[in-house]
Structure 1
Amino acid sequence: MEAEWQARTELLVGAEGVALLREAHVLVVGLGGVGAMAAEVLARAGVGSMTIADGDRVQPTNLNRQLVALHSTLGHSKAEATAQRLLDINPELKVRVVGEFLKGQPLVDLAREPYSVVVDAIDTLSPKVFLIVEAVGAGNRVVSAMGCGGKLDVSQVQTGSFWSVRNCRLASTMRKRMRHLGFGADFRAVYSTELSRAESVVHCEEEQNRKSRVGVIAYMPLLFGTLLAAEAIRIVLGDVAEKGGCHKPLVGIM
């Protein structure tokens, strides 16, 4: 058995699966409600190396949904706060912190490095599109979160092909931008088919690269982040995820 804290994971995916997770290097970009949750699930699953990136700092408006948002962390770097939390879960985790908003050549350089999976949890259009285009172009597998603001119904949250996402303004705008760039590759996305509530959107110019603020409930970004991590873990495990750790036929439980 692996270390005691990974015993339950090993029962499910086997020693081979635990080893694959330990050897994986995952990039997580965007450490808000969605990205920080994805990073935490990946750390708890036993991913051995992570690069995490975000230039934002914890604000009072983050307290309703973001794991690292506490009164004790207000004003702190989200990237540094996330790294501290991940290392408190797994002190052996190899974590690289990029505490800046990525654009231009630094974004391209980071996206083109080799990773087991790239997890996109960016909530602004241009860097989100360019991260995906550059990462996929470099041969990386990508999982991406679509918009979770203005939505309440967890039963409509799902994963699937990016090009099949519907009822998401962000995805629609991304597709237009990607087609303009000549990009047509597919990747996995987490999204909701629920229509966003128009009254939940307030236009403003006060936040980094944002022209509006969208209402969001505590559980929705956490669900999106969990599903992002699940998709990333599925990619890392490959066939091991299908056969499980005990290599026995599945049985019903009465």
Structure 2
Amino acid sequence: MQTETGIFHRTEKLIGKSGLEVLQGSRVILFGVGGVGSFVAEALIRSGVGFLTIVDRDIIEPSNLNRQIMANVKTIGKVKVYTMSRRLLAINPLAIVHPMHKCYTLENSQEFHLADYDYAIDAVDMITAKIDLAIKCQENNVPIISCMGTGNKMDAGLFEITDIYNTSICPLAKVMRKELRARGVESLKVLYSTEEPITRDNPPGSIAFVPSVAGLLIAGEVVRDLLKIASQKLETEALNEHKEI
């Protein structure tokens, strides 16, 4: 079995030993382990994030096989978060993966202890949960990125990461803008697509290469943000020490 150092030898070439230590010491919580979230989770673990909580209440169904990374004929009927957890630990056994087989709701939001995390990721479908996560993360000063709609899309090259109030076209983003504005949320980092929906079907149509790309883009943004936040913190600490001297 490889050591953690061996696993991340090539990652260290890009971000350095200190960057790798930042990721290994980071605590991230991911809501939703579907077509987008499953790729987020795997990319974070493969990038060196040391503590990841994954939250989802669903089991794996045949309809998941076209887009969810842990879904195959042998995992149908199994709990998503437990199956995904085993997969992640098979990649990095030294990581801490905390599966929570439940759904985030307004009523149980306190069970997730958001303030304990360095970053939160919203990859769920329920609008009420997405809105409340944005509000709770703002209240707890926890960075969050929220995924808008990836269903009924075919062009993975049209994803953008921006503020919710800069979005257009996406029907889910339109609802989120209205609801967040009404609740006084001034900003929310999101991933969304500028592609017009191919259909208006609900449940939406999906294809393998669209939600997966969305998940990888989100994971990349989170990793870069974690490194940036750590760098800014070090600069602030150094500045404060200099002032004391």
So what's the TM-score if we normalise by structure 1?
A: 0.86
- Residue in structure 2 matched with residue 68 of structure 1 by the alignment: 70
Match for residue 140 of structure 1?
Answer: 142
1:95 correspondence with 2:97: yes
Question: In angstroms, what is the RMSD of aligned CA positions?
Answer: 1.9
Matched, 1:214 2:204: yes
Shift of 1:240: 7.9
Equivalent residue number for residue 20 of structure 2 = 18
> Distance between the aligned counterparts of 2:159 and 2:230, measured in 1?
25
32-41 vs 109-118, which moves further = 109-118
Where does residue 196 of structure 2 map in the other structure?
195
The partner residue of 2:35 within 22, 33, 48 is 33
Does residue 1:227 correspond to 2:217, yes or no? yes
> Residue 235 of structure 2 aligns with which residue?
none
Question: Is the strand fraction higher in 1 or 2?
Answer: 1
**CA distances 1:214-233 after superposition (whole Å, capped 9, x unpaired):** 00111100000001101110
| 5+ residue gaps, structure 1 | 202-211, 242-254
Counting aligned pairs with the same residue, the percent is 33
Deviation at 1:189, TM superposition (A): 1.3
- Which is worse superposed, 229-238 or 186-195? 186-195
Distance 1:111 1:17 in 2: 26
Cα distance in 2 for residues equivalent to 1:62 and 1:239: 35
The corresponding residue for 1:117 is 119
Residue of structure 2 aligned with 1:175, choices 174, 177, 182 = 177
Q: How many residues align?
A: 230
CA distance in structure 2 between the aligned counterparts of 1:170 and 1:111, rounded to whole angstroms: 26
- What SS is found at the alignment partner of 1:215? coil
Could you state the TM-score of these two structures normalised by the residue count of structure 2?
A: 0.89
SS at the partner of 2:121?
strand
Contact conserved, 2:31 with 2:124, CA < 8 A, in 1? yes
Pick which of 226-235 and 1-10 moved more: 1-10
Q: Which has the higher contact order (CA 8 A, sep 6+)?
A: 1
Q: Which residue of 2 aligns with 1:204?
A: none
Change (3 A) 1:23 1:193: same
Read off the aligned partner of 2:185 and give its amino acid letter. Answer: F
1:12-69 alpha-carbon deviations (Å, 9 max, x no partner): 0000100000000000000001001001000000000011100011011001000111
Gaps of 5+ in 2: 232-245
